[in-house]
């Protein structure tokens, strides 16, 4: 089996021009070229001031790092934050449902006609005296502990079969 050497330190840029990367060299070279052009355009004092600002900005762009990020990437993020403000608003998605008004009206009339005490009494009566039956699966040996099920009725008239557990 062929063995391959795994490249390391891939997060570092290659040093192409002496101890400088291409970007660092480009920042310093552009500042030097602008300073050279401005030497012939301005008088000596004005050229000295503008060159000092240009060289300072080029050195800052080339070598300054904040929290492991270069100054140009931080400036790019700052400008994009300023020019593209975002507003994140959370809004719950509501599902559109349609209700049949006749069913709602029927339920409301039933609820209004029965008092709360009558509702509680009917629920208690249905829970305690519901239809009980036991079942064993086919092919399985009958067990000594029988499983019991009970029919539970809701206020809406819906009935479900639930497994009864006695503790």
- For the chain of 167 residues, list the mean pLDDT of each consecutive stretch of 10: 78 80 93 96 95 96 91 93 81 70 77 76 76 40 57 80 74
Residue 75 lies in a domain: yes
pLDDT score, position 85: 75
Residue 155 lies in a domain: yes
Residue 103 lies in a domain: no
Residue 11 lies in a domain: no
Q: SS3 string of the chain? A: CCCCCCCCCCCCCCCCECCECHHHHHHHHHHHHHHHHHHHHCCHHHHHHHHHHHHHHHHHHHHCEECCEEHHHHHHHHHHHHHCCCCCCCCCCCCCCCCCHHHHHHHHHHHHHCCHHHHHHHHHHHHHCCCEEECCCCCCCCCCCCCEEEEEECCCCCEEEEEECCC
Q: Which of 62, 83, 104 is the last residue of a domain?
A: 83
pLDDT score, position 137: 39
Please check whether residue 134 is in contact with residue 149, taking contact to mean a CB–CB distance below 8 angstroms. yes
Structural domains in the chain (count): 2
pLDDT score, position 68: 86
For residues 75 and 121, membership in a common domain is answered with no
pLDDT score, position 145: 47
Residue 93 lies in a domain: no
Neighbouring residues of 91: CB distance < 8 A, sequence distance ≥ 6: none
pLDDT score, position 146: 54
Per the structure, the complete domain to which residue 47 belongs is given by 22-83
pLDDT score, position 43: 94
For residues 121 and 167, membership in a common domain is answered with yes
pLDDT score, position 143: 45
Residue 102 lies in a domain: no
- CB neighbour class for 21 (10 Å; exposed up to 12, middle 13-18, buried from 19): middle
Residue 98 lies in a domain: no
pLDDT score, position 17: 81
Residue 33 lies in a domain: yes
């Amino acid at each position: 089996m062929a063995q391959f050497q795994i490249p390391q330190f891939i997060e570092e840029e290659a040093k192409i021009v002496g101890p400088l990367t291409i970007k660092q060299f480009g920042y310093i070279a552009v500042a030097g070229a602008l300073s050279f052009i401005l030497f012939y355009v301005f008088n000596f004092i004005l050229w000295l001031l503008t060159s000092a600002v240009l060289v300072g900005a080029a050195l800052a762009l080339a070598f300054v790092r904040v929290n492991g990020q270069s100054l140009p990437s931080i400036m790019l993020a700052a400008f994009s934050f300023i020019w593209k403000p975002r507003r994140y608003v959370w809004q719950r998605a509501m599902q559109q449902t349609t209700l049949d008004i006749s069913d709602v009206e029927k339920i409301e009339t039933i609820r209004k006609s029965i008092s709360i005490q009558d509702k509680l009494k009917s629920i208690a009566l249905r829970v305690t005296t519901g239809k009980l039956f036991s079942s064993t699966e086919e092919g399985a040996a009958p067990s000594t502990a029988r499983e019991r099920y009970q029919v539970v009725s809701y206020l809406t008239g819906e009935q479900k079969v639930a497994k009864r557990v006695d503790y």
